[in-house]
């Protein structure tokens, strides 16, 4: 599996943790001196889960140049299966979904970095597989293995929901992403992607089925992303190393960035197993901003079960950032400093990458 190297050396810190790390997210800084991380952790010895707020510090030593310090912890009633974060009135707000079908909104205190639940509710019949908090608000779109798509809102310390779609167990969803306060996309079985507009009742306004993937239509979309400046394009990552873009303006065929082939064209395939998360990479976009046309797909970062963190681009050789001997379960790009990336490794570690 040949892959281009990075143009400059990376600074990588691997920080062992006492528990399994299911998800990691950068927390928007509460002050100029803060570097905070939210981590969903699972203790296999006690079968307990928690959402932790960790502070990242530079220790200025060669043996341990960086360290993570626990600031606060919120015990989860069940294992956390999805995690999303937003800022509400300049305060970090986290949404944690769990294996028992519940969703919890947790607020972080900007002074003492404590975390408290501000609302919770039983939303799905079974594990919640994907959630997304709307930017600047508290409304959540959630999807689950039960085939339900819900809009979840906070009311008097409780979460209520409105069901947008119910597949009655015949279909399953794994990913959800807001495109605007009124529009969102979902992804799931069969490499399918659906776009929903809350202002237009009656089901998805656009629907894409993965019958283009020869022999692989039983695959699943695990993660989707939508760039705020290009809401007409949905990026999706899923089974068999597949990463593709679906442009709502030209819906006949996807643009394949990695994985399965369509017709005679084969995309570069840096990934061979499940792609767990995809995100637009604003750092690589900023490096090539003068060379990317409005019709070209922006660079996308991915992490996978086979331990690869990479950036894939349309018609370009992929760039490998990290190759681990274990799965990379999740990652996040720092919104304030997109050269910094954090990811969770299956072998109870958190890796932090700094790109020059």
Model pLDDT, residue 70 = 95
Q: Helices marked H in 275-338 — which ranges?
A: 282-287
Asked if residue 1 belongs to a domain, the reply is: no
Q: Helices marked H in the chain — which ranges?
A: 282-287
CATH of the domain at 304: 2.130.10.10
Residue 264, pLDDT > 60, answer no
How far apart CA 28 and CA 91 sit, in angstroms, is: 9
Q: What is the chain's mean pLDDT, rounded?
A: 86
Q: At 290, is the secondary structure helix, strand, or coil? A: helix
Number of domains forming the structure of the chain: 1
Asked if residue 44 belongs to a domain, the reply is: yes
- Full residue range of the structural domain in which residue 195 is found: 11-259+268-354
Model pLDDT, residue 212 = 46
Model pLDDT, residue 230 = 86
Asked if residue 85 belongs to a domain, the reply is: yes
Q: Name the residue with higher pLDDT: 284 or 230.
A: 230
Reported as a pLDDT band with limits 50, 70 and 90, residue 1 is: very low
Reported as a pLDDT band with limits 50, 70 and 90, residue 255 is: confident
Model pLDDT, residue 64 = 62
> Which pTM does this prediction carry?
0.90
Average confidence (pLDDT) over 257-280: 72
pLDDT 10s digits, 306-356:
999 999 998 888 899 999 999 999 999 998 889 999 999 998 999 999 998
pLDDT 10s digits, 236-248:
999 989 999 988 7
Q: Name the residue with higher pLDDT: 332 or 218.
A: 332
pLDDT 10s digits, 55-84:
998 765 555 678 899 999 999 999 999 999
Which residue's entry shows tokens 């992929």? 318
C-alpha dist (Å) from residue 180 to 28, 80, 120, 263, 305 = 20, 26, 24, 34, 30
Asked if residue 225 belongs to a domain, the reply is: yes
Asked if residue 23 belongs to a domain, the reply is: yes
Q: How many CB atoms lie within 10 A of CB 230?
A: 16
Asked if residue 2 belongs to a domain, the reply is: no
Average confidence (pLDDT) over 99-110: 92
Q: Rounded to the nearest 5°, which phi and psi values hold at 296?
A: -90, 140
C-alpha dist (Å) from residue 220 to 202, 261, 321, 352 = 24, 16, 25, 28
CA-only gyration radius of the chain, Å = 19
How far apart CA 319 and CA 277 sit, in angstroms, is: 16
Asked if residue 18 belongs to a domain, the reply is: yes
Residue 192, pLDDT > 90, answer no
Model pLDDT, residue 265 = 45
Asked if residue 3 belongs to a domain, the reply is: no
């Amino acid at each position: 599996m040949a892959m281009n190297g990075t143009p400059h050396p990376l600074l990588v810190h691997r920080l062992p943790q006492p528990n399994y790390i299911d998800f990691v997210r950068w927390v928007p800084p509460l002050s100029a001196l803060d570097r905070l991380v939210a981590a969903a952790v699972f203790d296999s010895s006690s079968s307990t889960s928690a959402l932790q707020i960790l502070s990242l510090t530079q220790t200025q030593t060669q043996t341990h140049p960086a360290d993570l310090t626990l600031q606060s912890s919120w015990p989860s009633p069940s294992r956390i299966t999805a995690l999303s974060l937003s800022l509400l009135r300049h305060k970090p707000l986290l949404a944690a979904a769990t294996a028992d079908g519940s969703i919890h909104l947790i607020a972080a205190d900007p002074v003492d970095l404590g975390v408290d639940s501000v609302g919770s509710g039983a939303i799905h019949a079974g594990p919640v597989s994907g959630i997304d908090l709307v930017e600047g608000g508290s409304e959540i779109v959630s999807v689950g293995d039960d085939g339900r798509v819900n809009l979840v809102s906070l009311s008097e310390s409780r979460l209520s929901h409105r069901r947008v779609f119910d597949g009655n167990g015949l279909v399953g969803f794994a990913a959800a992403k807001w495109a605007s306060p009124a529009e969102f996309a979902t992804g799931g079985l069969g490499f399918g992607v659906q776009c929903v507009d809350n202002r237009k009742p009656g089901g998805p306004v656009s629907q894409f089925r993965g019958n283009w993937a020869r022999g692989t239509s039983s695959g699943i979309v695990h993660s989707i992303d939508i760039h705020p400046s290009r809401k007409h394009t949905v990026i999706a990552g899923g089974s068999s190393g597949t990463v593709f873009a679906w442009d709502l303006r030209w819906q006949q065929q996807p643009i394949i960035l990695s994985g399965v082939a369509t017709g005679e064209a084969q995309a570069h395939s840096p990934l061979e197993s499940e792609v767990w998360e995809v995100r637009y990479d604003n750092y690589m976009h900023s490096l090539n901003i003068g060379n990317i046309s409005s019709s070209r797909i922006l660079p996308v970062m991915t992490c996978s079960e086979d331990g690869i963190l990479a950036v894939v681009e349309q018609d370009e050789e992929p760039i490998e950032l990290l190759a681990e001997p274990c799965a990379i379960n999740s990652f996040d790009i720092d919104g304030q400093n997109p050269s910094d990336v954090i990811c969770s490794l299956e072998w109870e570690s958190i890796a932090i990458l700094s790109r020059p």
